[in-house]
Amino acid sequence: MARPTTIRLPDELLAELDRRARSHQKDRAVFLRELLRDALARDLEEEVVVAYRAGRLSLSEAAHRLELDPWSWFDLLRRRNETLSVELEDWIDSRSAL
């Protein structure tokens, strides 16, 4: 359910919002909702990637937080030029299994 809300915006920001909404041929409210959804999704992605990078989330936890499968998580790391959270020490301590 969509509920009305009020926020104060500086004049120049409101003018820019209306200009961009017109250029996309969208109603101001529709355009603003889309922008908010995109921004919130990006913010969540950033938060999860930072937590993964810092070792606070495992790969499958991170993928799950973003409602991704592990394959898509690898794609996301590639798109963002991030690396796996495996450290050089992990390689050094890893054991032969053959």
Residues that bind other proteins (CB under 8 A): 55-61, 63-64, 69-71, 74, 77-78, 82-88, 90-98
- Identify whether the C-beta of residue 59 lies closer than 8 Å to the C-beta of residue 73: yes
In the complex, what is the shortest distance from the CB of residue 19 to other proteins, in angstroms, rounded to a whole number?
A: 38
Return the number of the residue (21 or 76) whose C-beta is nearest other proteins.
76
In the complex, what is the shortest distance from the CB of residue 83 to other proteins, in angstroms, rounded to a whole number?
A: 5
In the complex, what is the shortest distance from the CB of residue 74 to other proteins, in angstroms, rounded to a whole number?
A: 6
Stated as kind and residue range, the H or E segment containing 19 is helix 11-23
CB count within 10 Å of CB 6 equals: 4
Return the number of the residue (7 or 54) whose C-beta is nearest other proteins.
54
Return the number of the residue (12 or 93) whose C-beta is nearest other proteins.
93
How many Å apart are CA 28 and CA 15, to the nearest integer? 11
Q: What angle, rounded to 10 degrees, do the helices at 11-23 and 28-53 form?
A: 100
